A and B are shown apart, each in its own frame.
Chain A
Amino acid sequence: MTRTVLIVEDDEYIRTDLGELMELEGYRAATCCNGLEAVRYLSEAAPRPDVILLDLMMPVMDGYAFLQWMDTQPLDARVPVLVMSATGQADLHLGERQRRDFLRKPIDLDVLLSAVAKRVAA
């Protein structure tokens, strides 16, 4: 069964690259430009993603707001999230409940792929 990765990233170049990469690795890739598009995607579109690659600083609705929205969802509706940020992890105020897997930009490809594989398998 093909796994789906949802990429939420405002930078057009990174978004496209990540999409291409995921498809090269045999995943199905879906992309959104900001948190709000991701919320719409999760609410309406199928299939449900197996993992979300989330940027934090985005226009319209940022990654923090998206995570807060995610925490209001029923447990079985929550999707594992990999946070990608240029900021150090210690500087992120994600809260106890919102502890997430974290990838520091610039992203190392091997680290990213193994984190995605681990999440998808879980």
Chain B
Amino acid sequence: MDTSQNAQVSFFQTGEFVTAAVLSPAEFPPSLARATGVAADTMRAVDWSRSVIGQPDQWPPTLVSTLAMILHSRHPMFLFWGPHLISFYNDAYLPSFGVGKHPGAMGQPGAELWPEIWPIIGPQIDDVMLGAKASWNVDQLVPIFRNGSIEEVYWTYGYSPVFDPGGEVVATLVVCTETTARVFAERSLVEAHRQAEQARRELHDFLMQAPIGICMLEGPQHRFTLANQTYLSLLFGGRQESEFLGKSVREIVPEVESQGFMQLLDRVYQVGEPFDGAKMPIFLTQSDGSLKELFINFTYRPKRDAEGNTTGILAIVYEVTDQVNENKEIALLAQNLQKAITARDTFLGIASHELKTPLTSLKLHMQMSQRLLDAKGPQAFSGEKIGRLISNTKTQADRLSRLVDDMLDISRISSGKLAMDIAPTDVSQLLGETLERFEPQLAAVHSVLTTDIPAGLVAAADAYRIEQVMTNLLGNALKYAPGAPVHVRAVAKTDRVLFTVRDEGAGIAAEDQKRIFERFERAVPSSHTSGLGLGLHISRQIVEAHHGQLRVTSVPGEGATFSFDLPLAEASR
């Protein structure tokens, strides 16, 4: 069948109908005469006499009954009749035309009416007409010319053969629905989904890579739905997100229960109000199983659904451990500095008193001598008086010298420059000489000295410094326990020699036994005795520089025992 030839033969030329040959409704077959609507009216207004299918009263019954069914149907239908595929359609079909094709389409050969889609539908119609083969297309793109341009139009349509009573295919019935709107809607829905998914993925990626710790918890059990890298590395030393997802906080970090965080989460979930925490300490189990203390700033924000119900919690966490530690360090530094300043002030007070006492004595002496010389001349100075003057001056100079030595020592200790000149030293002899020098002082306070010192002990020691230690310990015994017996011993034990100085004075309370070795400290308040309060501190530093220890043991009321040990020199072992 050659449809293209017939398509050229049009009875419709200028858009106007030649009405003379149009049948009156009464002349139509009754089923067609009764049909109502725009399409039916158009069909009846056509001058079929000029058509290849002739006047309607001559139409074959198959055409009449098929057309009647179409015109009475509310479903969009189209009929291509006969070898020329003459077009018929109903009212329901009209919207599919848009503007332009109707009403001229009625009675027009198919190929002429649909040139723009003939390559698509032509073969399908041929399949029906020649092979009685029906077809069914869902959401098929069939772009048509309407409304002044080619439009992208989608159809779900079926092509069905129409048979005459003899079994010949005489027409193609098109039952169709335009699905453009639905296809477009579906397409925009798919696009919207794609965009939503992309946005979700971008947000997820952003959250996962954010430089602050973020986790999302769902439901009253606070189940993890997200835990970003920063969150995992910051709080848990790099545990895996997969460990967390779907698990509740209670399951995955049970250690926070006793730290109050569960209660906070429960509250935020139940009350729906956010919570902010600052510089809160938290102990968390790390990926290696250890427990780590952190300080964190964090925010819990309730997550709500469309109805405003809390469905979960967004937690944002950042670590401030360094800041907190820095603040702690600064506070500690400030405290130490304050202590140092107080110690310095105390030291300056004591030092100025101690230095000025011998100076006062010296100055008084000189001024009085001057006065006496002025009043009475040289004869006022007897030999005995001059002797006393010289002796007193020497005493005061010695006092000043000792004070300055102490101050220099403490300065060396503070700057780590207390150097030792260690050599094999006969400490038995050294101790003996020191004790000898103490004889006048012992006599002055009526203290009795007992000694137990084996001869010939040779230690690796700085003789000058060790004498300083011995002098300090003996001086303390006389100063704090005047009149009481003093016992001095030296004992060699394997490779060390132990010295003890025991007095029978008031003793030292347990709580003071550590303090007396600190700088500027003494067992009794400073106003009760003289000296810089440096002696034991310096002595301990000296002994420790010899890898020994200076200790005190005391029972209050029964006296005190100071002891220190030195390494024996190789020869003495």
Contacts and interface: CB of A to CB of B under 8 A. Distances in A.
Chain A, interface residues (CB within 8 Å), range: 20 to 34
Contacts of A86: 352-353, 355-357, 360
Contacts of A91: 349
A77 B390 CA distance: 41
Nearest to A59: B528
B443 interface: no
Given A86-B352, A86-B356, A13 B368 contact: no
15 contacts: A11-B360, A11-B530, A17-B361, A21-B368, A24-B372, A59-B527, A59-B528, A86-B353, A86-B355, A86-B357, A87-B353, A105-B356, A105-B359, A106-B356, A107-B360
A57 B355 CA distance: 13
Given A10-B530, A86-B352, A87-B352, A109 B368 contact: yes
Interface string A69-104: 000000000000000111100010000000000000
Contacts of A116: none
Nearest to B367: A109
B333 interface: no
A14 interface: yes
A14 B352 contact: no
Interface string B38-66: 00000000000000000000000000000
A110 B531 CA distance: 29
Given A13-B395, A57-B353, A105 B529 contact: no
A24 B371 contact: yes
A117 interface: no
A24, A84, A85, A109: residue with the most chain B Cβ atoms closer than 10 Å: A109
B357 A14 contact: yes
A21 B372 CA distance: 10
A16 B215 CA distance: 84
Contacts of A87: 349, 352-353
Nearest to A10: B530
B363 interface: yes
Interface in A51-68: 57-60, 62
A13 B530 contact: no
A57 B528 CA distance: 8
A109 B364 contact: yes
Nearest to B526: A57
B364 A21 contact: yes
A57 to B, nearest CB: 5
Interface string B522-544: 00001111100000000000000
Contacts of A20: 368
Interface in A27-73: 57-60, 62
Contacts of B368: 17, 20-21, 24, 109
B365 A11 contact: no
B392 interface: yes
Tell me if A's interface is mostly helix, strand, loop or mixed: loop
A5 interface: no
Contact of A106 (B360, B392, B528, B530): B360
B140 interface: no
Contacts of B356: 86, 105-106
Tell me if B's interface is mostly helix, strand, loop or mixed: helix
Interface string B357-394: 11111111101100110000000000000000000100
Contacts of A13: 358, 361, 392, 395-396
Interface string B466-486: 000000000000000000000
A14 B363 CA distance: 10
Contacts of B355: 86
**6 closest pairs, A vs B, by CB?**
A86-B356, A109-B367, A59-B528, A62-B527, A106-B363, A13-B361
Interface string A7-26: 00011011001101100100
Contacts of B527: 57-59, 62
A40 B467 CA distance: 41
B368 to A, nearest CB: 6
Given A86-B360, A107-B363, 6 more contacts: A10-B530, A13-B392, A62-B527, A85-B353, A106-B363, A109-B367
Nearest to A62: B527
A113 B252 CA distance: 87
Given A17-B365, A109-B371, A59 B360 contact: no
A10 B526 CA distance: 13
B353, B362, B396: residue with the most chain A Cβ atoms closer than 10 Å: B353
B532 to A, nearest CB: 12
Contacts of A106: 356, 359-360, 362-364
B524 to A, nearest CB: 8
Given A18-B364, A106-B363, A59 B529 contact: yes
Contact of A17 (B349, B364, B395, B528): B364
B371 A105 contact: no
Contacts of B358: 13
A93 to B, nearest CB: 12
A114 B10 CA distance: 150
B367, B371, B527: residue with the most chain A Cβ atoms closer than 10 Å: B527
B360, B363, B526: residue with the most chain A Cβ atoms closer than 10 Å: B360
A30 B368 CA distance: 18
Contacts of B529: 59
Contacts of B372: 24
